[in-house]
Structure 1
Amino acid sequence: MPGMIKGETSNSISHSPSLSVSTTSFSSLSHVSGHQSSPSTASTPAQLTWLQDLRSEERGLYLIHLLLACAHAVANNNMEYTNAYLEQISVLASLTGDPMQRVATYFMEGLAARITKSWPGLYKALHSTHLPSVMDIISARQVFFSVCPYVKFAFLMGNQAILDAMEGEKVVHIVDLEASDPVQWLALLEELSVRKEGPPHLRITGVSLKKDVLEQTGQRLSEEAEKLDIPFQFHPLVASLEKLDVDSLKVKSGEAVAISSMMRLHPLLAKETDAVLRTENDNHNHPVIRHLRSSSGGYERITYVSRDEAINTAGEVGSDRGLKRSREMYEAAPEVGAETLKNHVDASEAGVRQQLPRSMSLSDGNGTNVESRGKPSMVHLPRDESSCSESGFGSGVVQRILQKLQCLSPKVMVLVEQDSNHNSGSMPERFVEALHYYSAVFDSLNLTLPQHCLERVTLEKFLLGQEIKNIVACEGAERVERHEKIDRWRMRMRSAGFVSRPLSSTAALQAKRLLHGYPCDGYRVKDDQGCLTLCWQDTTLYTASAWTV
C-alpha cells in the first residue's frame, strides 16, 4: 500500500485514497511474521505474542486488515471470528500509541459494542460507568477548538460569509441554529465594530434546548456589544430544531436575515419520520424475503431502514461502484472464511449486469430494493426512484426545516458540515468511510500534540472516539453521527429552494491564513464549486458553503 504509511518514525495513515489492502499484501505479511492471519491461529495469550513484534508498518497494515475483517464478521453475525479478530486487535491497539493504534482502539470498541447491543442487559452493565460526563465532553471540545483548526475554520467561514452578504445593511438579524458557544459571535462583533460604514443594529436569535446556555451566551454577547458600542439584542429561543416554528424567530420587516448552521443538521437525519416498516407477517411473507430464504440458505437478520438511509445506499446497490466497494472490502479481509459470500458477490455481479441497467438497483419489481451481499441481507422498503434526485427530499425532517428557513428569505445561510459519507445504511460501507476519515483526523493530531499528552487522550476518548463508536455500533434514531458529502447537502439545499452563494476570495484567504498558524503542513483548503473544503493531506474533512434565495 504505497503512500498509506510514511514509515516507522511518522506512522502516517491518511495518504491512501483507499483503505483496501490486497490479499497478496497480507499473505506477504503473514509470511514475514511466520504466522497465518486466520483468526483461529491465536487462541491463547502466548500465541498472540508474535503480534507485539511486528514492525510499525506491518502493524499498521495488519490492523487495517483485522478491522475490516472484523467489521464483516460482525455484519455477518459470526461470533467466533468476531471474538478472534477482536482479540488480535486488542493486542495491537493502544490509547497512547501511533495514530493507527489509537484510532483502532475506538473502532474495536465500536465493533464490540455493536455485538453486545444484542444483549441490552449485558451492554448496559458493561457501559454503565463508561459514559463521559458533561465535564469530560466540555474539556474534549475545548481541546478540539484550541489545538485543531476545524471549528475555527467553520466560525471563520461563517462570519466572513455573513460580513460579505451584509455589506451596507443597517439592520441585521442572525439566526443561530446551535447557540451553544458565543465565540463565533464575539469575533463577528469585533469585525462589525470596525466596518467602514459603521456597525449595524444587530439581533441574534439563538436556538437551543438549554435555557441556561442561552442565558449565558446572551449575557456575554450583550456585554461585549456594549463595550464596542454596537446596538445589540439577543433573543433566546428554547426549542428543538426539528419542531421549530419560524414565527417564533420574530423576524421583522426590514431586517436582513442570516442563518448559521455549524455541524447542526446531520444529527437530524436520524429523526427522519418516514421510515417504511412492515408488520412481522408482511415482512416474513414478502416475496423478496422468501427469495432470500431459498436462494442464500436462509437469513439471519433483515434490517429496515429509513427513507433517507435508503436514498444513501440504494443508488450503489447493483451499481459498478457498489459492487466494486463490496469486492474491495471482501478482498481486504480474505481470511474471514466467507468463500460463499465472495461467490455470492460474483454471482450478483454477473446477474445484475445481465438483467439491469447500470443505474438501477436490484429490485423485486414491487419497489423493494435488495442488497444481497451475504448475511445479514439489507432490504430497503420501498424506494421511490425520484428520491435520488434534487426533488426527492421533500418529506424528511431536515428538508422540512430547510423549507421553513427558506421562507425567511435569508440573504445568506451558512452551512458547515463534516464532509464524509457516514450515513450509509450498510455498516461495513460506513465503517470503511469512517476508518479513512478518522485516520486522517488522528494523523493530524499526531503532529500537533505529544504522544502521551493527557489533552490528546481526552480529545480522542471523549469526542472523536464517541463519534466513531456511534457510527459503528448504533442504528436508527440512536445513530446521530450521520455525516454526508457536500454533494448531498447541495441537493438538499437546492431542493428546498436555495441557490449557491460562492464564498469570496477573502474567505479563502482567511482560511489559508488560519492554517499557516499551525505547526504542520498537512492541512489544505480547496475550492469546490464555490464551497471551501478543509482537508488533511488529500482527505476532505469539513466543507463550508453559503446559500441564498
Structure 2
Amino acid sequence: MNTELRSNTTPISPPSPSIFNTPQSSLSGALKGCLGSLDGACIEKLLLHCASALESNDVTLAQQVMWVLNNVASSVGDPNQRLTSWFLRALISRVSSVCPTAMNLHGSPTLQRTPVRSMSVTELAGYVDLIPWHRFGFCASNSAILKAIQGYPKVHILDFSITHCMQWPTLIDALAKRPEAPPSLRITVPSCRPPVPPLLNVSSEQVGLRLANFAKSRDVPFEFHVIDSSSSSTSSDVLAAESSSFHLESLLGQLNPSMLDLRDDEALVINCQNLLRYLPDEPGESNQNPSFRNAFLEIIKGLNPCVVTVVDEDADMDASSLTSRMIACFNYLWILFDALETFLPKDSWQRMEYEADVGHKIENIIGFEGLQRIERLESGVRLAQRMKNSNFQSIPFCEETVREVKFLLDEHASGWGMKREEDMLVLTWKGHNSVFATAWAPSGFDD
C-alpha cells in the first residue's frame, strides 16, 4: 500500500457550492463510494463536505459525512488513516458542543480528553531530536545570533519559545569556542507560556539551573532569570484553555527595560520560536488599538535588540472560515504524519505521542472558535510582511548558516530539505514547506 499521503498530489480548491446542494440521498451515495479509498484528495473532499455542512448548521449532513470518515479513520493505520482519525475527533468535539446528543458513531474516537504527558528533560531532548521540526529553527537562529553578537563581551537573550530552552546548550557550546573568549551570557524567559505541548515536568527555574551547570562546564559566565508573574500556570489538562491563561496583558506589561533589567553594555537578542501564532491578531476595541501580535512587535522593537529571530510553521491557519482552516490544516499537517511513517513503526509510543500533540493542534484549529482557538498560524511570507510593516529589516542568512543547516539535515531522513525564499530559510519535506526561519533588526538599528 502506498503510504505517502499528499506528496504526489496538489492541494485542491474548495468544491463548487453546487456540490453541497446535492440531494442528501445522492450525496450520501457519492460519499459512500469513497469507502475503502485512502486517497488524500478523497478524504479532503469529505472533510470539506463536513466543514461546509457545519458552517450551514446542517448537523444531519455532517453526521453522514462523519460516518464515512469513521470507516476510513484509524489511529494505528497508515498516515492517511491516522490523520483522518484526529480530524474526525475534532469534528465530533465540535458537533457535540453544539448538539450533545447528535453523535453516535460506533467505534469512533473517544471524546474523553487525554491529558498531554509532561516530559522529563531527557525525554524532551529525544522529542526534539526525533525529526528536524524544532532543530532546524534552533540551528538557523543560533547561527544568526552568533553572527549578530560578534565582538560583544556581554549578551542578554530574551527567550520566547515553547521548547523550554532546549535551543541553548548548542549556543553555549559555540560561545565557549569563540576565539576572543566567550561573552557573559544572560537568558531571561517569561514565567508563562502557551498551554501547548511539549510540556515539561520541571520548572523554568530548574531548567535554568541545568543550563547554569552546563555553562559552568564550558567556562561561559551565565545568568538565568524568569520574568516575575503572580498569575503564571501551565498544566497538562488545559490544552484547550482560553488564551487568557497565557496572561497576555501581564506578558506585554512586563516587557519594559526596568523589569527586564536591560543594560547598556549588553547585546540584546530576542528569540521567538513558535510564539507569534499564540498572540491574537484581532484589533482591540473599536478597531483603534493594535492586535496583541502587533503590539508585541512594537514593544520588542522599542527595546532596540541587535537581532530578533522568528521561527514558526509555514502555513496559514487563522481564517475565520472553518472550511478555509480545514483546507489549510489538512494540506499542511499531513507532513508530520508522513515523515514519522518513514522511520517509526505503527505501534511506536514515540510516534503516537508526537501524533497526539499534532492531534491536539487539529482539535483546537477545527473544534474551537473565539478565544478558545489559540492556534492562529500565519505563513512565513505573511510574517515577513508583518515584520516590515512594523519597521523591522530582514537580516539575510549567511552561507555558513546554510551549510550548518544542511549538515544538520543530513542526520535525518532523506525527505527533509532546505530552500531559500527571499531572506527566509525554509525546511521542506518532499519539497513541501514546513518550517520557516527568519532574522530581523529594527530599521535603522545602530550596532
TM band (smaller chain)? 0.7 to 0.9
Partner of 1:403: 298
Q: Which amino acid aligns with 1:442?
A: F
> CA–CA distance in 2 between the matches of 1:222 and 1:101?
45
Q: Which amino acid aligns with 2:273?
A: M
> How many residues of Structure 1 are paired with residues of Structure 2 in the alignment?
402
DSSP-derived class of the 1:92 partner: coil
Alignment partner of 2:173 out of 168, 173, 190: 190
Pair 1:22–1:533, CA change in 2 (3 A) = same
Pair 1:195–1:138, CA change in 2 (3 A) = closer
Q: Which amino acid aligns with 1:494?
A: K
Partner of 1:525: 418
Pair 1:424–1:207, CA change in 2 (3 A) = same
Alignment partner of 2:263 out of 237, 252, 259: 252
> CA–CA distance in 2 between the matches of 1:228 and 1:140?
23
After superposition, give the CA deviation of every residue in 1:328-373 in whole Å (9 maximum; x if it has no partner): xxxxxxxxxxxxxxxxxxxxxxxxxxxxxxxxxxxxxxxxxxxxxx
Q: Hey, which of these two has a bigger chunk of helix by percent?
A: 1
Pair 1:139–1:457, CA change in 2 (3 A) = farther
Q: Please list, as runs of the form range in 1=range in 2, the aligned pairs for 1:230-249 lying within 5 A after superposition.
A: 230-239=220-229, 240-247=250-257, 248-249=259-260
DSSP-derived class of the 1:191 partner: helix
RMSD in angstroms over aligned alpha carbons? 3.0
DSSP-derived class of the 1:413 partner: strand
Pair 1:427–1:63, CA change in 2 (3 A) = same
> CA–CA distance in 2 between the matches of 1:232 and 1:179?
21
**Mapped contact 1:19–1:436 kept (Cα < 8 A):** no
Residue 120 of structure 1 deviates from its aligned partner by: 7.4
Pair 1:140–1:488, CA change in 2 (3 A) = farther
**Mapped contact 1:242–1:268 kept (Cα < 8 A):** no
> CA–CA distance in 2 between the matches of 1:205 and 1:122?
49
Query: Is there any run of 5+ residues in structure 1 with no aligned partner, and where?
Result: 1-7, 27-35, 43-47, 277-306, 308-383, 385-393
Pair 1:116–1:165, CA change in 2 (3 A) = same
Alignment partner of 1:39 out of 14, 28, 31: 28
Partner of 1:516: 410
Residue 78 of structure 1 deviates from its aligned partner by: 1.1
Alignment partner of 2:312 out of 417, 422, 434: 417
Pair 1:111–1:55, CA change in 2 (3 A) = closer
Alignment partner of 2:219 out of 201, 216, 229: 229
Residue 467 of structure 1 deviates from its aligned partner by: 0.4
DSSP-derived class of the 1:177 partner: strand
**Mapped contact 1:413–1:547 kept (Cα < 8 A):** yes
> CA–CA distance in 1 between the matches of 2:437 and 2:143?
11
Pair 1:246–1:22, CA change in 2 (3 A) = closer
Residue 504 of structure 1 deviates from its aligned partner by: 1.6
Identity over the aligned pairs, expressed in percent?
28
- Report the TM-score, using the length of structure 2 for normalisation: 0.82
**Mapped contact 1:501–1:547 kept (Cα < 8 A):** yes
Pair 1:179–1:83, CA change in 2 (3 A) = closer
After superposition, give the CA deviation of every residue in 1:3-39 in whole Å (9 maximum; x if it has no partner): xxxxx3333323323134989xx9xxxxxxxxx9732
Q: Which amino acid aligns with 1:453?
A: S
After superposition, give the CA deviation of every residue in 1:124-177 in whole Å (9 maximum; x if it has no partner): xx9884242443899996664131111111111111111011111111111112
Residue 170 in 1 paired to residue 150 in 2? no
Q: Which amino acid aligns with 1:423?
A: D
Partner of 1:540: 433
Q: Please list, as runs of the form range in 1=range in 2, the aligned pairs for 1:64-75 lying within 5 A after superposition.
A: 64-75=44-55
Partner of 1:375: none
DSSP-derived class of the 1:410 partner: coil
